């Protein structure tokens, strides 16, 4: 198993733990989703990256006090749109 696959499994496990604990700590779960999106971006899996960035953005936005992080996710989503256009 390669490093990317190990990282994907680690993110999946972390998100599973958050869900299992029914964590209300949106900050750390959002960061996990955001970095999972970065992993997919580096792997060239732009559709999956976009999904994770959207999930992170929505989670940060639902908290209400994390507008800087919402903006960070919006910027990542804009970059995904640009990369998707270049790939076509």
Q: Could you read off the pLDDT of 14-28 as tens digits, one per residue?
A: 999 888 887 677 788
Q: For position 64, what pLDDT does the model report?
A: 79
Q: For position 18, what pLDDT does the model report?
A: 82
Q: The domain that contains 22 carries what CATH number?
A: 1.25.40.10
Q: Is 11's pLDDT higher than 90?
A: yes
Q: For position 82, what pLDDT does the model report?
A: 86
Report the number of distinct structural domains present in the chain. Answer: 1
Residue 58 structural domain: 3-87
pLDDT tens for 41-88 read: 999 999 999 999 999 999 999 987 889 999 999 999 999 888 877 766
Among 66, 69, 67, 35, which residue's Cα sits nearest to residue 52? 35
């Amino acid at each position: 198993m390669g490093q990317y696959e190990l990282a994907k499994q680690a993110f999946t496990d972390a998100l599973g733990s958050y869900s299992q604990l029914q964590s209300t700590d949106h900050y750390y779960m959002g960061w996990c989703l955001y970095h999972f999106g970065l992993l997919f971006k580096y792997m060239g899996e732009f559709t999956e990256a976009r999904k994770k960035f959207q999930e992170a953005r929505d989670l940060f936005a639902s908290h209400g006090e994390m507008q800087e992080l919402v903006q960070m996710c919006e910027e990542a989503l804009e970059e995904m749109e640009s990369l998707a256009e270049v790939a076509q």
